[in-house]
Amino acid sequence: MKPHLTQDVLIQYQFDLLEEAQRNEAATHLEECSQCRKALEKLKQRFLSLDVLDNEEVLSDQLVQKTIASIHQSKEPELNRRRLWVKWGAIAAGIVLATAIVFIGQDQWQEQSRQVLNTTQMPDDKSLTAPEKDDAHFSNSSRPDMNSPAEPNF
Amino acid sequence: MEHNDRILIEAHCNGSADAFETIIRRHGPAVYGYLVKMVKDTHKADDLFQETFQKAYEKIGDFRGVDLKPWIHAIAANAALTGFRKEKRKHMVSLNSDTSCPDGKHCFDIDNVVLADQKEPSEILEMEEKRRNVRQALMKLPDQQRTTLILSYYQKLTYKQIAEILNCSIGTVKTNMFRALKRLAVLLPESSGGQI
């Protein structure tokens, strides 16, 4: 028979701390060795004393209520902080939007005024040349033809 | 259970006012049991309990798992261990000191126990003596060993879950567990087992 199991191995066996092969080996030994079985039983009894603390502490309803109240209390500043962020965020977004509108508006206004300028300048240019034509045409057409027989000759 | 946790979390995230209270009532007793065993007095346990659920409330929206128990225990363990580290820095705590507490809640309160258990005073005294011995033995363990033992023995969490909670390997958890048990095998009262 193999040597008896040490207390360390018994503890590891009892609390599932051994590798599978070691565990099987210890289990086989325990089946055959009453002395080790007794030692294991003694160890189990000793650790059973830990159970005196089971269900020793009861969570009071008072603590639950206190916890809920403290959560709600801390939620308020958090909500206020969020509201503040939303408020400042909205203000910032408004400013950005207004600035964008101003810039875009300015651009468009400049563009429009440029177009207006162009359109108002265009007839002037034409007026510099076209009237010549017109004048020429007019003058040609209205200028009395001295040679025309229709014209009364005073 | 886990499925219900998920439903509760979704209800909470959708604005249900009662969902989080249900979560506290479901997981609170286990978390409180863990904290009371981890710290020396109930005042501290109460504070840590509130801190734990406060953090859980803030972070629960980010929780993607199905089982809240290890997740909430992780918050509680972190709160307890951080508390110990802070206290140690202040040199205010001696783990080897007596576990008597100022509020008397954790100490022997014969009236409450008699009403609760309907036992003979001698039995109550004996039981309280055993509890005191076990508490003292637990408090003699280093923090990491104590938290590992409590999470495994009392909270019935697997070594894998404990490794996730304490953010370490399963091997480390098993080593801490073994060391704790080895120490307790010496510290625990020999005759108290099996008679409770």
Q: What is the mean pLDDT of residues B80-109?
A: 57
Per-residue pLDDT tens digits of chain A, which is 154 residues long: 678 999 999 999 999 999 999 999 999 999 999 999 999 999 999 999 999 888 777 889 999 999 999 888 876 555 566 667 888 888 899 999 988 888 888 888 888 888 887 877 665 555 555 554 444 454 444 444 445 454 444 4
- Whether the complex's predicted ipTM is more than 0.90 is answered with no
Most confident of B3-17, B124-138, B147-161: B147-161
CATH number for the domain running over B2-187: 1.10.1740.10
List, for residues B29-59, the tens digit of each pLDDT value: 999 999 999 987 889 999 999 999 999 999 8
Higher pLDDT, B168 or A107: B168
Residue B159, both tokens: 């070594």
Chain B residues within 8 A of A45 when measuring between CB atoms:
193-194
Closest-approach residue (CA) in chain A for B129: A52
Q: What per-residue confidence (pLDDT) applies to B1?
A: 53
Higher pLDDT, B162 or B129: B162
- DSSP character at residue B152: I
Q: What is the mean pLDDT of residues B11-37?
A: 90
Q: Collect all residues from B whose CB is shorter than 8 A from any CB in A.
A: 20-21, 24-25, 28-29, 32-33, 36-37, 42, 45-46, 49-50, 53-54, 57, 127, 130-131, 133-135, 138, 152-154, 174, 177-178, 181-182, 184-185, 188-190, 192-194, 196
Q: What per-residue confidence (pLDDT) applies to A112?
A: 83
Chain B residues within 8 A of A8 when measuring between CB atoms:
178, 182
Chain B residues within 8 A of A17 when measuring between CB atoms:
174, 177-178
Which residue in A12, A49, A74 is closest to B134 by CB distance?
A: A49
B146-173 burial code (b ≥16 CB/10 A, e <16) = bbbbbbbbbbebebebbbbbbeeeeebb
**Cα B143-A41-A26 angle, rounded to 5 deg:** 85
Cα distance between residue A104 and residue A106, in whole Å? 5
Q: Tokens 């092969």 — which residue?
A: A21
Q: What is the mean pLDDT of residues B119-145?
A: 87
Most confident of A113-127, B95-109, B152-166, B182-196: B152-166
Q: What is the mean pLDDT of residues B148-164?
A: 95
Contact B154 A70 (CB under 8 A): no
Higher pLDDT, B8 or B97: B8
Task: Of A105-119, B35-49, B111-125, B145-159, give the lowest mean pLDDT range.
Answer: B111-125
B102-132 burial code (b ≥16 CB/10 A, e <16) = eeebbeeeeeebeeeeeeeeeebeebbebbb
Chain A residues within 8 A of B46 when measuring between CB atoms:
63, 66
Residue B178, both tokens: 């073994």
In this predicted structure, the answer to whether residue B153 has a pLDDT above a threshold of 80 is yes
Q: How far is CA B116 from the centre of its chain?
A: 22
Does the beta carbon of A56 lie under 8 angstroms from any beta carbon of chain B? yes
Q: What per-residue confidence (pLDDT) applies to A122?
A: 60
- Taking CB atoms and an 8 Å cut-off, how many pairs form between chains A and B? 103
Closest-approach residue (CA) in chain A for B192: A49
Cα distance between residue A24 and residue A13, in whole Å? 10
CA distance A29 to chain B (A): 21
In this predicted structure, the answer to whether residue B195 has a pLDDT above a threshold of 90 is no
